[in-house]
Structure 1
């Protein structure tokens, strides 16, 4: 299995491959992002070369980082069960809107606040309802001869370089307020996204796709050792190839873009709150440990840190409703 990672050790930040409990660093001129630019075939060639020549560094002795610095992050909402449960929790509505079935929907989130497994995730200012979201993300790589625009699903499938786990951390109380303005979420999702522990290259999953292109691999999440949710990635409404193709329409996908599946069924607290009619299980608090495992990829784990105490809201300035320019006063 080819696993592409970034890590810190005594030599600083390294990029390379993980195999058999060891890390093998690429030469300094290469990073994970240059592998994505080179494309999957060249990355696999470099993996063979590097593992065969670079000195092994025990995985247990390094600190894994987020496996890439994303160019963009598009996060979809592709699981019907999640949509049904979380809508009731966020805005009190029941069911799934008809528009969800018409096309996959996504929002852009912040690539600058990406974290890796093992990192502490602070609670943002003003948040009391901290939540997680259990997702898989596809990472885009270069395909020779393609500019990544207006892709068919078949062509989009070739642009999927590999897969990683995504935890889309969510401040649900901030999100509820923002969604009422019909242009959100923003600060409810802006503070952290965890990726990792590495990228598993797409060739490792080729024989696992079903006839419709879905991946029937298991996803699960635990809080403090207690399982909260479990689902199959194949319960998405669309396979990843169709998500990538849709993102490319009248637009472009580029190497280093990350596309999240959205939260799997039972993969977050807010969905369970909507179904249970109460905040059961309770929101995350300082010291809680969230552990996500995806079959064929691995596990990421993060601890919740302290809350930042600050006032971040700024009230709008009342404005008069004049629609014309007022005449200047005499003598001005």
Structure 2
């Protein structure tokens, strides 16, 4: 099934896509609650058999399928992305052996989730605003201390995930050395749908999902790749993330960036600030995934930075 959250003038609803229509459940039903209660499959049957309403896709505004996930973690499972970033920053492409010991992730801002067609303001004060092409795995069955061999069985489905990043703010975060902060705080796109695992089985190759992914800016393709390029699998990422802690239904875990799926990897100037392709107001960013759909968002002007202390 392809689950969506939408507005159509009478409140936020949850429903399933059926061709060019949405079969909606009652107002007040949320995907988060269905996942938490373990009733997603039953609710899907209700939506197909006896929906509260049926509307054409052109009648609704799709929101993020999970508007406030249980939690959001973002991994770094495509190591070529990291090598490319090192090269853009003038560093050696060689990776420290630590990157081969376990997958890395950070906790992202679940309050920053936006919908697949929402405008995205530039982060306040940023002049180096970037996109990141990723896939988000959604936990359907909770667990703790999972095994890599079967951890993927806890995933109910997948969605496109754009980890918008202010590279100039991220440089400050990295210099301070305590983790990602304002560089990754302004927006995370999820959508357009939560696509259940069974829907994506046709894209499985040699035991791994291998659907194609791409990103474009103003219609110009930035990159194209497949999910099975991941150096660390979602099973390994979930097993690592669940060590000594609970993964709850409705949690979202990002794959990390598909190689060359962000502007930083395309920097061709000695100084980052001289690169002319950073996102600016008016730019249109699209992510696409086989079986997952497409996001399309316009970058808008951000607010000016509010000073922390009086000048002087």
**How far apart in 2 are the matches of 1:281 and 1:230?**
22
Please say if residues 70 and 256 of structure 1, whose CA atoms lie closer than 8 Å, have aligned partners that are also in contact.
yes
The equivalent residue for 1:64 is 62
Residue 283 (structure 1) aligned to one of 278, 286, 294? 278
Mapping of 1:147-162 within 5 angstroms?
148-162=143-157
**How far apart in 2 are the matches of 1:71 and 1:90?**
34
User: Secondary structure at 1:27's aligned position in 2?
Assistant: coil
For residues 48-71 of structure 1, the C-alpha deviation after alignment (integer angstroms, 9 at most, x for no partner) is: 221222231111111110101211
Structure 2: stretches of 5+ with no match in the other structure: none
Residue 45 (structure 1) aligned to one of 35, 42, 45? 42
The equivalent residue for 1:258 is 252
- 1:96 deviates by 2.0
The equivalent residue for 2:287 is 292
**How far apart in 1 are the matches of 2:246 and 2:269?**
37
Q: TM-score under structure 2 normalisation?
A: 0.92
Q: Which has the larger displacement, 46-55 or 85-94?
A: 85-94
**How far apart in 1 are the matches of 2:275 and 2:235?**
35
- 1:93 deviates by 4.8
Q: Which has the larger displacement, 84-93 or 16-25?
A: 84-93
Residue 191 (structure 1) aligned to one of 186, 210, 221? 186
Q: Which has the larger displacement, 280-289 or 267-276?
A: 267-276
Please say if residues 69 and 250 of structure 2, whose CA atoms lie closer than 8 Å, have aligned partners that are also in contact.
yes
Mapping of 1:269-280 within 5 angstroms?
269-273=263-267
**How far apart in 2 are the matches of 1:238 and 1:109?**
19
Structure 1 residues 200 and 123: CA distance shift in structure 2, 3 A: same
User: Secondary structure at 1:158's aligned position in 2?
Assistant: helix
**How far apart in 1 are the matches of 2:209 and 2:307?**
41
Structure 1: stretches of 5+ with no match in the other structure: 316-332
Residue 164 (structure 1) aligned to one of 152, 159, 169? 159
The equivalent residue for 2:122 is 123
Structure 1 residues 274 and 86: CA distance shift in structure 2, 3 A: farther
- 1:313 deviates by 5.5
- 1:92 deviates by 4.0
- 1:154 deviates by 3.7
Q: TM-score under structure 1 normalisation?
A: 0.87
**How far apart in 2 are the matches of 1:193 and 1:274?**
26
- 1:153 deviates by 2.3
User: Secondary structure at 2:246's aligned position in 1?
Assistant: coil
Please say if residues 86 and 274 of structure 1, whose CA atoms lie closer than 8 Å, have aligned partners that are also in contact.
no
RMSD: 2.1
User: Secondary structure at 1:70's aligned position in 2?
Assistant: coil
The equivalent residue for 2:174 is 179
Please say if residues 88 and 274 of structure 1, whose CA atoms lie closer than 8 Å, have aligned partners that are also in contact.
no
**How far apart in 1 are the matches of 2:268 and 2:250?**
35
Moved >6 Å (runs of 4+): 274-278
